């Protein structure tokens, strides 16, 4: 149950990071990679 909630929050963060245009792409893509990794870990870990 907790992992599902975390996954939903991180998926929302991924949606925001992919739709929001940031000045520094390193921050955007770095955050996206971390969020995707955390979702995979929450679902399968």
pLDDT of residue 33: 81
| pLDDT tens-digit readout, 15-29 | 777 777 666 777 677
| pLDDT tens-digit readout, 28-43 | 777 778 878 887 877 7
Q: Is the dihedral of CA 18, 41, 3, 31 positive or negative?
A: negative
pLDDT level of residue 1 (50, 70, 90 thresholds)? low
pLDDT of residue 31: 75
Helices (H), 1-45: 2-19, 25-44
Mean pLDDT, the chain, whole residue set = 75
Measured CA to CA, the distance from residue 7 to residue 42 in angstroms comes to: 6
Owning domain of residue 38:
2-44
Domain total for the chain?
1
Contact 17, 32 (CB under 8 A): yes
């Amino acid at each position: 149950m907790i992992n599902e909630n975390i996954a939903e929050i991180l998926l929302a963060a991924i949606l925001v990071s992919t739709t929001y245009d940031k000045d520094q792409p390193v921050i955007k893509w770095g955050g996206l990679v971390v969020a995707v990794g955390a979702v995979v870990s929450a679902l399968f870990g």
